[in-house]
Structure 1
Amino acid sequence: MKKLLVGLVLLGLCFGLFNFKGLASQGEFEEIVLDFREDIPIAQIDNQLRVIAQQFNLAPQLNSIFSKPDNVYIVKGDRATLKALRRSFVAKSTEYIEPNYIYNALEVPNDPDYNKQWNLRSIKVESAWDETKGNGVTVAVIDTGVSRVPDLKQTKFVRGYDFVNNRETAIDDSGHGTHVAGTIAQSTNNNYGVAGIAYEANIMPLKVLSAFGGGTVADIAEAIKFAADHNADVINMSLGGGGDSHLLKEAIAYAHRKGVVVVAAAGNANKNSASYPARYPHVIGVAALDSAGEKAPYSNFGAGVDISAPGGVGTGAGGIVQETINSKGQAMFVSFQGTSMAAPHVAGVVALIKATGVKEPDQVRSVLKKSAMRVKNDTLNHYGAGQLDAAAAVKLAVRGQISFRDFFRWLRDSGYLNPRFWIDGGAVAFLPKLAMVLGSYLLAWFLRVYFPFTWSWSLLGGLVAGSSGLFFLRGFYIFDFPQVPFRIMGSSIPEMGNMIAGNNILNPLFASVLIPFILVALLLNKPVWKWFAIGTALGVAACLGVNAVVSPAVWGMGSGAIARVFLFINALMCYSLALLAVKVERST
């Protein structure tokens, strides 16, 4: 029996944590689908539909004329209505009750010449845009400079530098750097021109190449350090040469130590090795593909190539089109080809990856390589890890990542940032709830006085979860499984009440040290998540302590002295558990 209870707790806990990580994927809906079982008589279905209409004030109707054989009905409703229906009498007569999710077409930019950008579609960038567009990430374009042509008008720029002419304004006098910057962050959805990959990212223009396309290693090395010192997240270098330079290698290592991802073109000599700087350690070397996904005939390959991306062939439909300038400085849309065009595709996807929260350069490189589309029989390393896949890279990056926006939404919908948390129960319930919240922070502060530690989001998240009563277990149940144990598991905090008895009696299994203990046992050796476990223990201690004073009602123990002592003891045990965990942390 003990093993069964622990198993149920672990199942509920895992559900809660998976739900926590999967918030970004929760869809929107305005309707609910009721799929009645085919073995239910029509008369019985009609009767239940009438009861639903009366009891829930809903108007069920067939989804379409084709829905009658499958008994699929639709009702208007939100998540509260969905939960109520799933817990009602009608659940036994249905195969499932689920949201009628609203799906949308993948984002297609309104830029009129986007249809010419086969290269962006080939890396599946539209699916990547569903998650991120690179907001907040800065990409340094170390090139011939960048001119703000009309299709870069809405693109965000940060301060750069012209190392060729030693001035702050890094104006392009070639067209190469502007074209590269366009692939990374061309203004998008502006009803003009073409699109860019990470079009919400910032561009840092750094001019190291003259109008004739040449530049010195000393200038390039200084530009790399400038970018690293001025908060660039990504560096793109669509340039290269044949000489190994200690100065350049040291600059790249410096940028890598500061968390900058460095991307460089492999070179256009069709040789079995990438040029420098693509060949250096800590640089992602990029080979070029044509519109058929084959290695472009000019692209270098072999040593130093980490991944391949569209570089185009020719200056027509098979090239990479972006807006840049001509020899007279006039803006125009031009198709270029080369590994210089391939590298910014990777730099743009790196910006998307970094925007999801993956920061370390080696982690970003790993995401790029693991998500790349594999190419069989690539004996000469034409493709490196494979072909760039923006959608797969972003999907891999966000797996297990929680953005502040998602975390805030989680708190808003489920925790004490939800106004209902404070309003439910009226003024009588407000002060105890406030005491739970403040109590958890006071316990953490008291612990910190004697065992100094650093405040972190994981610790604060644990305090939130614990002090609001392990709210991530709310409403947990699986349809077509026996409902009783799962509904009991969803009643761990007083404001939720007991799903069976219909009152606010606490469940002794969850109104105890058990879940904090399991969390600490599972997460104590995890550098970040152990603080979530410690915070949860402190939060539950505050929650149980307050309930022991104001509402000592425990299932099977009544609401007298026994229940009060039970809650006090478990609150003390939760605090002791946190204390022990911090001591272990300090001793390691």
Structure 2
Amino acid sequence: MKKVVFFLLFLLGIGFALMSFSGLANQGEFDSLIIDFKENIPTTQISEDIEEIYQKYADKPELNSMYSVSDNVYVVNGDRKMLRQLRKSSLAKQVEYIEPNYQYQALDAPNDPDYSKQWNFRSINVESAWKETAGDGITVAVIDTGVSRVPDLKLTKFVKGYDFVNDKVNADDDNGHGTHVAGTVAQSTNNGYGVAGIAYKANIMPLKVLSKGGGGTVADIAEAIKFAADNGADVINMSLGGGGASQIMQEAIDYADRKKVVIIAAAGNANQNSASYPARYPKVISVSATDSTGAKANYSNYGAGVDISAPGGGETGKILQNTINPSTGESVFVGFQGTSMAAPHVAGVAALVKASGVAEPSEVLDVLKQSARKVPEDTKNYFGAGHLDAGAAVGLALKGKITFNDFFRWLRNSGYLNPGFWIDGGAVAILPKLGMVIGSYLLAWFIRNYLTFTLSLHSGLIFGSAGLFFLQGLYIFDLPQWPLRLMGSSIPELGNVVVGSTSFNPLFASVLIPFLLVALLSGNKSWKWFAIGSSLGVAACLGINAVIDPTVWGLGSGAIARSFLGVNALLCFALGYLSSQGEKDH
């Protein structure tokens, strides 16, 4: 009996884990429902259905607009409970779908007064990404001319860096290039001043390897890469480049990669068919530049080694950030152009992706590439995987993940924290479903002398009796509903999933499927237990439904249907019992 109790607790734990489907964190708000009647439904029938809804819910569905007449799209005020009830009602047979009428709104823009001039941020869809993360907890090392804390970096978090040019701790900028790059990554945002940054809650690690004149050595750059990896950097940005391959650089890059640091570098500004080093190294993400129209910037390198493209600016629009005037050291807002400006866009988005839970550098690269907006007929590889898309990248990174706060917000919005929700069985008729699961284990317990509780048997008992029934209560706007209904259904309910009915299909709700499983799987020692468990699970499901909801296609919901389900429940139990004969506990 301890095994049974333990497995039931384990099942509930798995239930919570399975709620981590993509989209849970994106549950939308709504106060009305969309009902799309099938086009072949007569007008008189639609009118009767509308009247029935009005009588039950005191609210009358109305055509959404004059253009909805041909599609029979109606809208009615309603909440999640009403949505679940309508989906389980007879109305479900007459509609294409019933779904939430989600409320959308304009995406909030930062209050930085010059944000409107940052065309580059809108071109990478960063506002969508900000709905999920701003890079909190991620550290981006800017290996450049140093970083000065100009006014629009005042609220940005800095961690310990180093000046490898002058061999000192303070890594202030005396050129302006590095501060500009750092601003693209993490300019202080929503501070009512200046402009915005991509991962504005990330930490900046300033590492100076380039002098006031903009030059630096491979040895300093390699040491900076190792320093970043040893001091907690998650992402490295190198808006710099030069000549051939270097062993010391390669070793540093490999070292950082082993420590799960994502490394990004500019492809170069020579308009040549090859990315420059260090962008050419295999474990470095190489970034080419686009102008404000999305075309290749006329200066950008392309071709061999380019992984992805991002805004680098051009004469029609440069990349605006807060930096220093190298002549005076004073703060200025100025537009730069170059692949040096494109690379920190990717570094900022990589920080957002890392903050979303993707750890391995290779996986971050995959997310960036897969989410990029493809450019057709890019025969010369101007754009690599395509144009950088921050919103799509974060969405892909979060796929299958959900935060603690998101989970409880979803519970609250779905009504799962309301005791009445569970009492009235609003989600998936929880008490009967639990009864079916427990019943299947009790049936197995009655013949325990012939059974070994293997994983295959557990699986059969669950999927024969109730399936992963809690999934039927999940309504996720960015996923099709049928996979959840399929996984949330028991074997007798599979016929319902196909046609969207609430009545049992007599072929599925009978001994037929368990009999076929036993016949097909009896020769396999492991899978035989699944067939036996399925037989007992179906017996529990049909037995309980014979009492509480005996509705079968063609048989109605009276004594005939009740008898049909009851007899088949007994046959399934007998099948499971007979199939287990000769097997002993061990």
Whole-angstrom CA distance in 2 between matches of 1:560 and 1:271: 74
Amino acid in the other structure paired with 1:256: D
- Give the equivalent residue in structure 2 for 1:471: 469
- In the superposition, the TM-score normalised over structure 1's length comes to 0.67
Task: Please say if residues 263 and 285 of structure 2, whose CA atoms lie closer than 8 Å, have aligned partners that are also in contact.
Answer: yes
- Give the equivalent residue in structure 2 for 1:404: 402
Amino acid in the other structure paired with 1:353: V
Q: Which runs of 5+ in 2 are unaligned?
A: 1-16, 440-453, 455-461, 474-480, 484-488, 548-563
Whole-angstrom CA distance in 1 between matches of 2:493 and 2:90: 18
Structure 1 428/75 Cα, relative in aligned 2: closer, same or farther at 3 Å?
closer
Task: Please say if residues 22 and 401 of structure 2, whose CA atoms lie closer than 8 Å, have aligned partners that are also in contact.
Answer: no
- Give the equivalent residue in structure 2 for 1:180: 181
Structure 1 499/69 Cα, relative in aligned 2: closer, same or farther at 3 Å?
closer
Whole-angstrom CA distance in 1 between matches of 2:424 and 2:495: 17
State which drifts further: 345-354 or 387-396: 387-396
Deviations 1:96-118 (A, max 9, x none): 43322222234443433223222
Deviation at 1:194, TM superposition (A): 1.9
- Give the equivalent residue in structure 2 for 1:228: 229
- Give the equivalent residue in structure 2 for 1:145: 146
Whole-angstrom CA distance in 2 between matches of 1:231 and 1:507: 60
Q: Which runs of 5+ in 1 are unaligned?
A: 1-15, 437-450, 452-463, 479-483, 493-497, 525-536, 580-588
Deviation at 1:347, TM superposition (A): 1.3
Amino acid in the other structure paired with 2:364: V
Whole-angstrom CA distance in 1 between matches of 2:510 and 2:300: 66
Whole-angstrom CA distance in 2 between matches of 1:345 and 1:93: 50
- Give the equivalent residue in structure 2 for 1:359: 359
What SS does structure 2 have at the residue aligned with 1:299? coil
Task: Please say if residues 145 and 175 of structure 2, whose CA atoms lie closer than 8 Å, have aligned partners that are also in contact.
Answer: yes
Structure 1 373/307 Cα, relative in aligned 2: closer, same or farther at 3 Å?
same
Whole-angstrom CA distance in 1 between matches of 2:491 and 2:77: 26
Whole-angstrom CA distance in 2 between matches of 1:553 and 1:416: 28
Q: Relative contact order, CA 8 A, sep 6+: which one is greater?
A: 2
Structure 1 66/362 Cα, relative in aligned 2: closer, same or farther at 3 Å?
closer
Task: Please say if residues 511 and 568 of structure 2, whose CA atoms lie closer than 8 Å, have aligned partners that are also in contact.
Answer: no
Amino acid in the other structure paired with 1:471: F
- Give the equivalent residue in structure 1 for 2:162: 161
Whole-angstrom CA distance in 1 between matches of 2:345 and 2:579: 56
Structure 1 55/234 Cα, relative in aligned 2: closer, same or farther at 3 Å?
same
- Give the equivalent residue in structure 2 for 1:488: 493
What SS does structure 2 have at the residue aligned with 1:29? coil
Deviations 1:257-289 (A, max 9, x none): 122111112233444443322222311222333
Deviation at 1:226, TM superposition (A): 2.2
Task: Please say if residues 107 and 127 of structure 1, whose CA atoms lie closer than 8 Å, have aligned partners that are also in contact.
Answer: no
Deviations 1:446-466 (A, max 9, x none): xxxxx9xxxxxxxxxxxx999
What SS does structure 1 have at the residue aligned with 2:142? strand
Amino acid in the other structure paired with 1:279: R
Deviation at 1:177, TM superposition (A): 1.5
What SS does structure 1 have at the residue aligned with 2:403? helix
Whole-angstrom CA distance in 2 between matches of 1:392 and 1:95: 29
Correspondence list, 1:370-385, <5 A? 370=370, 371-374=372-375, 376=377, 378-379=379-380, 381-385=381-385
Residues 1:281 and 2:282 aligned together:
yes
Task: Please say if residues 465 and 490 of structure 2, whose CA atoms lie closer than 8 Å, have aligned partners that are also in contact.
Answer: no
Amino acid in the other structure paired with 1:319: K
Deviation at 1:390, TM superposition (A): 3.6
Whole-angstrom CA distance in 2 between matches of 1:304 and 1:405: 36
- Give the equivalent residue in structure 2 for 1:210: 211
- In the superposition, the TM-score normalised over structure 2's length comes to 0.67
Deviation at 1:19, TM superposition (A): 9.8
Whole-angstrom CA distance in 2 between matches of 1:156 and 1:568: 67
Deviation at 1:234, TM superposition (A): 1.3
Deviations 1:406-462 (A, max 9, x none): 8836984889888568656899999999999xxxxxxxxxxxxxx9xxxxxxxxxxx
Whole-angstrom CA distance in 1 between matches of 2:36 and 2:415: 31
Structure 1 433/409 Cα, relative in aligned 2: closer, same or farther at 3 Å?
farther
Amino acid in the other structure paired with 2:324: I
Amino acid in the other structure paired with 1:488: E
- Give the equivalent residue in structure 1 for 2:3: none
Task: Please say if residues 552 and 567 of structure 1, whose CA atoms lie closer than 8 Å, have aligned partners that are also in contact.
Answer: no
Identical counterparts, % of pairs: 58
Deviations 1:515-562 (A, max 9, x none): xx99xx9xx9xxxxxxxxxxxx9xx99x98xx99xx998994589999
Amino acid in the other structure paired with 1:307: I
State which drifts further: 88-97 or 427-436: 427-436
Correspondence list, 1:492-531, <5 A? none
Task: Please say if residues 17 and 472 of structure 1, whose CA atoms lie closer than 8 Å, have aligned partners that are also in contact.
Answer: no
State which drifts further: 235-244 or 301-310: 301-310
Task: Please say if residues 32 and 76 of structure 2, whose CA atoms lie closer than 8 Å, have aligned partners that are also in contact.
Answer: yes
Whole-angstrom CA distance in 2 between matches of 1:189 and 1:273: 39
State which drifts further: 172-181 or 297-306: 297-306
Whole-angstrom CA distance in 1 between matches of 2:209 and 2:240: 10
Deviation at 1:331, TM superposition (A): 2.2
Note the aligned Cα RMSD (angstroms).
5.6
Whole-angstrom CA distance in 1 between matches of 2:231 and 2:419: 41
Amino acid in the other structure paired with 2:472: R
- Give the equivalent residue in structure 1 for 2:258: 257
Deviations 1:299-321 (A, max 9, x none): 3444443333222235xx62210
- Give the equivalent residue in structure 1 for 2:56: 55
What SS does structure 2 have at the residue aligned with 1:181? helix
Deviation at 1:403, TM superposition (A): 1.4
What SS does structure 2 have at the residue aligned with 1:247? helix
Task: Please say if residues 265 and 278 of structure 2, whose CA atoms lie closer than 8 Å, have aligned partners that are also in contact.
Answer: yes
Amino acid in the other structure paired with 1:75: V
Deviation at 1:169, TM superposition (A): 4.2
Structure 1 43/234 Cα, relative in aligned 2: closer, same or farther at 3 Å?
same
Structure 1 36/270 Cα, relative in aligned 2: closer, same or farther at 3 Å?
closer
Whole-angstrom CA distance in 2 between matches of 1:63 and 1:469: 37
Whole-angstrom CA distance in 2 between matches of 1:466 and 1:140: 54
Task: Please say if residues 511 and 571 of structure 2, whose CA atoms lie closer than 8 Å, have aligned partners that are also in contact.
Answer: no
Task: Please say if residues 415 and 468 of structure 1, whose CA atoms lie closer than 8 Å, have aligned partners that are also in contact.
Answer: no
Matched residues, number: 508
Deviation at 1:293, TM superposition (A): 3.5
Whole-angstrom CA distance in 1 between matches of 2:491 and 2:85: 15
- Give the equivalent residue in structure 1 for 2:559: none
- Give the equivalent residue in structure 1 for 2:297: 296
